[in-house]
Every structure is written in structure tokens, then in C-alpha cells.
Structure 1
Amino acid sequence: MDKFIEKNRKRNEGSGESSNVTGGKRKKYRKYDDEYLDFGFTCITKEDVELPQCVVCYKVLAAESMLPNKLKRHLELVHSDLQGKPREFFVRKLRELKHQSMSLVSRATVPAKALLASYMVAHRIAKCKKPHTIAEELILPAAVDMVSIMIGESAAKEIKNIPLSNNTISRRIHDMAEDINEQIVRKLSGLFAIQLDEATDSNDDAQLICYRESHEDAENFNNTDFIIKLAYLCDIFNKLNDLNKSLQGNNTHILQLADKITGFQKKLLFWKRKLEDQQYWVRNPFQSPTPSTLSTEEEEQLIELSCDSNLKLQYASDKLFEFWSSVPREYHAIRTAAIKIKEINVDSKTSSPILPTVSSHIKQRNAVATPKRKVNSNPNTQKRRHRN
């Protein structure tokens, strides 16, 4: 919070800077000379330009008036009774002016601790979503009462210096929100892209979909393992979507819903068992038991292949996909089944099974699963739509 306040203060100071440039050229003004104090004038700096100021009436003249004759004329016309006063008189007036200016600045400037407290209160009001007036109407009076009782009146007076007006709290919240937004944009700039879309679910409720793509995500689409897992996600979300639709509608009760969920859980176990049966024999056809999912022809060819000593030697030296691609045509049925599973699920001879089976039609499906609408099965409704 301290860093934010300091940065915000510097930003406000920087926004107030301006240059005295006209037509691309900076105007030149006469500089102040200490001898001008004999005429009762000191100087102040505004926008990098020195302006003469009278130490008697405190009037600030234009920069063009920084000339001895113009300063002397002001003394003769406005303060004619002070003509002939010694320099020490104007030196004393100058000290009074500086003392008064310092006193005014100290009263107008908010102390750093009071400024920090103001931001902290504004932050809490924003988090609680309370009206901005609560700070001045409730929080500050309550804080003054508690401090005056627990600590003393002197500390309570310090509490009153915290700026907590309605406009101040609103400005503090706006400053913090702007700073957070700048930090997020600065940290995330160039790292990823976001695309928004809208869809409707089965209840015709609008759903906002956010697509996030980073540079790492783009590189993942060149990774076969990533694409396989992404295809699995599409397939499993499609199954979950079908389950979700089957749980909707009228004339249903908790027993029916529980039966459908139990059936889906058993399907998950079935898919996992089927995947394991398929993948183990593909990774090692010479030691794995014959799975029950193969046809009679495929099972017979697998038994013959497992007894082929030449293929066993070739299996030890080749990669898995190369081995199955080079299997002789006499084992065509089992070779086709193995390559199909290899393309979809198996990564290497030693890899663990990738998540439950991914059907082959996944490759033609969009990789983004979106909510589906439930189709109205009423034939009369369909006929009316057709006529329209």
C-alpha cells in the first residue's frame, strides 16, 4: 500500500508538469536578482518560471515584470508609504512570508500515515460493498470515540485528520482499481489471448464461454500426447453431457436419478478395464494374456504371433509402432487392431494407459465441448416448426 501511494503521488505530480513552449521555442525570462528585495520583492517558481512576489501584499506579478523599473513602480504606486525603508525591513517581511507559507503547506498537506489510513478504509469499504458515505458518517466518528476513550483526546484529534469524505473515498477506490488494472495488463501483456463467446444450456440460460490461448497452449498442439488427452476430454465431456441431459426433465425422482448415476459409474469401470485389456497385449503381445475383446480371427492370429521367435527378436529391437507396422500380412487382422489402438491410446512400450477409451470419431469432432440443447420430442411441435 505504501508503494502504491508513493507511485500515485508521483504520477499526480508528473501529470501537473507543463512546459512554457510556444511554437516549438521556449520563452526566455529574466532571472530573479537578490537586489530586487530592496524594492520589496522575492520570487516564486511556477512551471519552471520565476515570478516576482511582493513581500508586503503577497501579490504575484507576471514574469515579464521581472524588471527593476516595474518592481520599483509597484512599490511607489501601491506601497508609497514604504518608500525609503531599509533593506532589513523587507528581509523581515520575507521571513514572515516564508513562515506563513510553511504553516499553510503543513496544514494543507495530508500526513503520510493519514493518507495510508484513508486508503485502507477505502479498501475495506470497497470489499464490503458499502456506500462511500459510511466512512464519514459512521467509521470516522466511531473511531474518534474509541480512540478518545482508550487512548486520549490528543490521539482522537489525530484521527480526525484522516480524509474520509464521500468524494475522497470514491477517488481512493478509483485510484486502487486503476492501479490493479495497470498491474494486470503489464504482467499479462503478450502472454496469451482471450476470446469470449456465448451459448445457452438446456434451460435456455445464457452462459459465457472464455477461450484462453497462450504461447504454451499453441505449442501443445504439436504434441501428440497432448492431442490424445484433449480428444479424451472431448469424449468424456460428451458422455457427461449425455448423463446431465438424462437427469433433467419432469416426472423423475431421486431413485431414478441414483440408478442413472450408478450405471454411469459402472460404465467408467468397464471402459477402464477394456482399455487395460487392449493396451497390455499391444505393448507386449508375447507375454500378455489374450483379451476377450478380440474377434476369433484376431485372437487366433495373436496366439500364432506370440509363438513366432523371429518377430520376438524384432520386437526387442524396434519401437512399438514400427514393430506392428512391419508385422507380416499373414497377421493382418491383429496388426490392424493393434495399430488402431496404438494411434489412439498407447504412447510407448513402457507407458501407462492413457485415460479411458477414446472413440475413433473423436478425430473429426471439434475440440471444444459446448452445452447442448435438449430436443423437443413432441411431434406436433416439430410439425408446427416445419410449417413455419
Structure 2
Amino acid sequence: MDRFLTKNRSTEPTNSPAVEDTAAKKPKNFWPIKIRRYEAAYIKYGFTAIQKNGHDCPKCVLCLETLSNECLKPSKLQRHLMQKHPAEAEKTADFFRRKEEHLARQSAAFTQQATVPERALKASFLASYHIARAKKPHTIGEDLLLPATKDIVRELLGEDAAKKIDAVPLSDNTVSRRIGDMAQDVSAQLLEQVRASEYFALQLDESTDISNEAQLLVYIRFISQERFVEEILFCKALERRTTGKDIFQVLDDYIESNGLNWARCVGVCSDGAAAMTGKISGVTALIKQKAPHVVATHCMLHREALVAKRMDNELNQMGARFEGLLLHSNVRWLSRGAVLNRVYELRREVGEFLSSEKHQLAERFTDATWIRKLAYMSDIFLHLNVLNQSMQGRDTYILQVQDKVRAFSKKIMLWSNKLQEGVTEMFPLLHQELLSCDDLGSISPMIQSHLEHLQGYFKDYFPDLENTHLNWVRNPFSPGVGSSLGIKSQEELIEMKNSGDLKLNFEALPLSNYWLHWEQQSDWLMHELDELEFNQGQHRCLELDY
């Protein structure tokens, strides 16, 4: 160890004679290593050459033994031929050249055969990909895919081609590894794109799976190749508790371990639960400690679901009595609309079944008033489901969602007014029930009350639906928009309106991509967007409530 330390200090001056003597000494019989090169004339000794560690090494064409570079001299090559192959010692150079050519053909054939596993490996990945997409058990590859593929290939291409199918590995463990490898590769590509993006936004949702284990699901929206991209970032189990600190710890560990920068996060969307939105220990509060500029929003889909859950006592009790029959859950509340529709369609069959079982609920299915209530609930939840689905999808931005919610709120007002006039066509199932017996008066007050309360709930959960001051964002080429902007912003808006190229881009591109393209040319209009708190995340990365 001391001699290594002495070497490291060799640049320091020293007057020690011991050190000088040690440095001056060389081992006895010290000769530099000579690197030898193969010559074509060595074939007469039965040797060709291969590359090993960057040097030529002799290889016998008879026994295929490979010697070191030091043996690349005529005397040692001849000695190997005389001692190991005395019967071929008198052969000519042409004999050894034919052996060399045969060896080369064997190597080429081996290389050609080696490419078959590579193609089989690709086939294994492709089959595993289809198994994963179809959500089938991993054993289906070996139990079904391989035998079926082999039979098909045998009938179409013959037995020789069918034998090649046996080289494709598709055991359950192999399929599992292939899927894991592909998942890691997709994750690596996604993270690489996120790191290259100037901004990104997150959407968080914590829920439980069928095994009653808490799972954290995180989506991300970022900029890639001048367009907005939405992808699932990760799904991880919450092994301990589901408090804000635990959720943030899982999220922060993932962000830090994968080289993402919190400073680039401009928006966080959550479901509004206390663990997410708590002012002190909520996830959004902890995120703002890392990135104070982050805009936190409450998911509009969750808000709409909360509105749908708010029902009058009479309607709510109706659902509670049939909780076991409807099989609804608080997590997927809007699925109640589909269940109610099925119950209504099968009301006669369900009633007959309950009657045969002498169940106390059988009488409900013979009550005309109760059936009308069921028809109304099915209709109103169908409208809510349509609204919910219309707010989903790619390239959807917050102004569109606000427009849809505002329009639905006004529809409720229209339905209430029409209901007072005795019109029920907006509720198809209820209207069908009333055709046989036009007796709306018995349930009309209940429906009127529910519609009034429903409209109030929308106002409570969506207080920021008026966005006319953002018409210049929605359509900057519309006349008269942007009059409330500053002078510099209005000047940029005038330049935009009089640009034919930008107008063509506006008509061809989604709104989000258009403003992303304009961001590189604008200063003041982008500043105006930054001043809008609810739209700051949308400007930078269209942080939209999913």
C-alpha cells in the first residue's frame, strides 16, 4: 500500500535517498512486452488469427486451440503443429487454407443460426405485449398461443417453419419478465420527455383497489415537441397510512429519485379530500413548500360527482332502501345512473322474482308512484353521466369544462320551468310512464325541489363559471375582445388579429397548442395569463381538472 501512496506523491519534491534508490531500481531481466502481428505466411503452420483484447492471437485450424500473442512466432507455431498434429505436419499450405475456409463457413453458419433466437426474442416480446394489452393471464402464451401458432404455421408454411415456433420463449415467468422490461422502457422514455419539458402539471387520486389496499395514482401533463402530452406517471401502493404526509412522501420520493424538478411543476389537481387539500399537512400544502408557485385546483369531475350525490331526503331514502340491490359505491357514484336504468328496464322481472321469494320489497315494484320516481332518477343520472363524460378526453381545457357546466346549470332552470307547464319530454323514461297515466302532480313538487336544489349545488361547487373576460383567450380573432387588457397586450392582440399565418394556425391547431406556439412570440399577453390564478397552470401546461 505504501508504494501506491509513494506513486501518488511522485510529483512532490523529495531529497530522501531511499526513495531515489527505490525509484532507480528496476527488476532484473526487465524487458518491454512486444506485441506481435499475424502474417499470412503462418497459414503453412496450420494457424489463422483472431482478435482478442485488441491483439492478434493464433488459432489452430485443426484443433481450434487459441494461443496467446506471445506464441505468434514461427518456432512456437511449428512446435504446436509437430507435437499436436504430427500426421498433418507435411501438409501443404493449400490444405490448411481449405481448413481455414471450412472454419469460416462454420462460423458464418453459426452466426446465421444465432440470429434466429434474436428474432424469436422479438416475437416473444410482441406476444407478451398482446397478452398484456388483452389483460389475459400470463400462462395463455405457453398454453394457447404457441400451440395455436404452431398449427397455423404448419398448415400454411410447412413443418420446417413450424419447428421454428418452438424457439419462441413464452412461459408464464418469461411473459412476466417481458412485460416488466417493456414497462420499464416505457417509463424511462416518459421520464426522459418530462425532464426535457419546461413545465409539467400533476393530477393525484388516492383510492382503494379490490383487495382493500390504498393506491396512489398520478397523471402528468407536459410539453413535448410543441404539443401537450397526458400520460400516467405511476401507480404505487400506500403501505402505511393515507395521510397527506404519507401521500406526499411517496410522490416526493418518486420525483426526486427520477431526476424531476419541482420548480417546473406549475399545477396540482386533486379530488378535494382533506388529506389532499389540508392547509398545513395536506399534499398541496407540502408541495407548495417545494414549489411555492404551484396552483392547486379541485378536480371538476369530482365536483360534479359531489353535486350528483346531493339529493333530497325522499329520493335519498329511496336509494338507501335498495342499497344492496343497486350495488352502487361511493367511489363510482355516477354508475348508479346505469344501475338505475337497468333496474327500471327489468322492473317487471325483478318484481316477479321478489314476489316469488315473498320479499317485503316486492310491493315497491307495483307502486306506480315509486316507479315514476325510479324513472326520474334514472333520467337525471343519465344527464349527469353525459355531462361527466363530456368533460373528459384529451385536448380538453378548463374554459370548455366551465362552458359545459354552465350550460347544464341553465338546462336545469329550463327543465324546472317546463315541468311547471307539464312538459316532461326532457326525462324520457318518466315521460313514457306518464303516457299511460298522466298524473304528474303527485311527484311534480318532489322533482321541482330536487331540480332547484341541484342548481344551487352547482353554484356552490362551481362558483367561477363566468369567464367572459377570457373571450380573447378562447378566440383572439373575434371582434371586440380584449378591450380590458393593457395597452401593450392590446397591441400584441392587434398584431395577432392581422396575421394571416396565425389565423390559419388558430383554425388548424387545438387552442392549447395554438397558445403554446404563440408563447414564444408574446410577452404581454402571456403576462396577462399569468395574472389569472386559476388559469396560470393552464397557460403553462394546461393543468386541467381530469
| TM-score where L is the length of structure 2 | 0.35
Rg (Cα) greater in structure = 1
